[in-house]
């Protein structure tokens, strides 16, 4: 599933094509994805101008001049692909319709945004913009890891009562929003913290370093266009390439990249998710 850097990469790709632009025609080609589309979604979107395009956790939010907000979740395999951009930033010709093109948005500018989702685990919803983050999918989310509310003091307080492993705690979207398996593994390696260590036993000093490592790994991944492991594509169809920089994720049995370490990367399953780490460097 795309994590924060992949979703932010998609948002940044959509922004110059959608923000300030009118959705001239909207086609919804099936009744549902992960759950049913909102009633009359095509009609509610057609003719509306996108005022802002933002991200909250792993959701893209388009605020419209109608007073409604369109919520988009990419799911496991969802892609937002752009064609026909009149400014030449994307391929000019619109591609032939594909089987899994479930929502197609033609902008007044001539650009087209297509939501393609072969596995249909993605989702779209609409709600009144004045609700802010009160939508059920957003209401319980923790702070953004790249925002000012995510700090050493916040993390110390949030983890103090947690008897679960630090890896599991960081994946809890109520503690911090948008983090996923890949980037938690990478951040823990950079700080030398074992994914098995109890959250409440991680010292304040190490949590301070962890906050910086999380910010750094996410920023680097965004700059690299995210990580493409299976289905993820940027809005122009290109792959992200941060996967070439992984220190531990997916590298079970490979040598640790720390120069003074002779260990190999291990994998352990935690809450149904694979954690990759160096048993020597991470304690």
Domain boundaries of the chain, sorted by first residue: 4-131, 152-277
Distance, CA of 14 to CA of 142 (rounded, Å):
25
Q: Are strands 123-128 and 273-277 parallel, antiparallel or unpaired?
A: unpaired
pLDDT band at 86 (very low <50, low <70, confident <90, very high): low
pLDDT, mean of residues 258-267 = 96
Q: Could you give the residue numbers annotated as active site?
A: 2-3, 58, 273
pLDDT, mean of residues 209-213 = 98
CATH T-level topology, domain 4-131: N-terminal domain of MutM-like DNA repair proteins (3.20.190)
pLDDT at position 238? 55
pLDDT band at 101 (very low <50, low <70, confident <90, very high): very high
Beta strands in the chain (DSSP E): 23-28, 50-56, 59-64, 68-73, 79-83, 101-107, 112-116, 123-128, 266-270, 273-277
- Mean pLDDT (the chain, rounded): 91
How many C-beta neighbours within 10 Å does residue 32 have? 12
pLDDT at position 240? 44
Distance, CA of 272 to CA of 124 (rounded, Å):
27
- For the cut 80, the answer to whether the pLDDT of residue 241 exceeds it is no
* CATH class as words, domain 152-277: mainly alpha
Q: What angle do CA 2, 18, 3 make, to 5 degrees?
A: 10
């Amino acid at each position: 599933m795309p994590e924060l850097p992949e979703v932010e990469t998609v948002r940044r790709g959509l922004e110059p094509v959608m923000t300030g632009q009118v959705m001239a025609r909207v086609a919804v080609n099936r009744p549902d994805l992960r759950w049913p589309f909102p009633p009359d979604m095509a009609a509610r979107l057609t003719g509306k101008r996108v005022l802002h395009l933002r991200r909250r956790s792993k959701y893209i939010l388009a605020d419209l001049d109608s007073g409604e907000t369109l919520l988009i979740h990419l799911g496991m395999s969802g892609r937002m692909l752009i064609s026909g951009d009149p400014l030449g930033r994307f391929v000019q010709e619109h591609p032939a319709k594909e089987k899994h093109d479930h929502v197609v948005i033609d902008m007044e500018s001539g650009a087209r945004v297509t939501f393609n989702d072969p596995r249909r685990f993605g989702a779209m919803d609409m709600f009144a913009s004045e609700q802010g983050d009160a939508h059920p999918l957003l209401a319980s989310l923790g702070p953004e890891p790249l925002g000012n509310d995510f700090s050493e003091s916040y993390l110390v307080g949030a983890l103090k009562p947690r008897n679960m492993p630090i890896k599991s705690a960081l994946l809890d979207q109520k503690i911090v929003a948008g983090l996923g398996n890949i980037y938690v593994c990478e951040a823990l390696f950079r700080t030398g913290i074992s994914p098995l260590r109890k959250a409440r036993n991680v010292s304040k000093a190490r949590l301070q370093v962890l906050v910086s490592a999380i910010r750094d790994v996410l920023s680097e991944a965004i700059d690299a266009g995210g990580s493409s492991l299976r289905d993820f594509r940027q809005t122009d169809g290109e792959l992200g390439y941060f996967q070439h920089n992984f220190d531990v994720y997916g590298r079970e049995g490979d040598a640790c990249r720390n120069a003074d370490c002779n260990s190999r990367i291990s994998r352990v399953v935690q809450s149904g998710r694979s954690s990759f780490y160096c048993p020597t460097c991470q304690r």
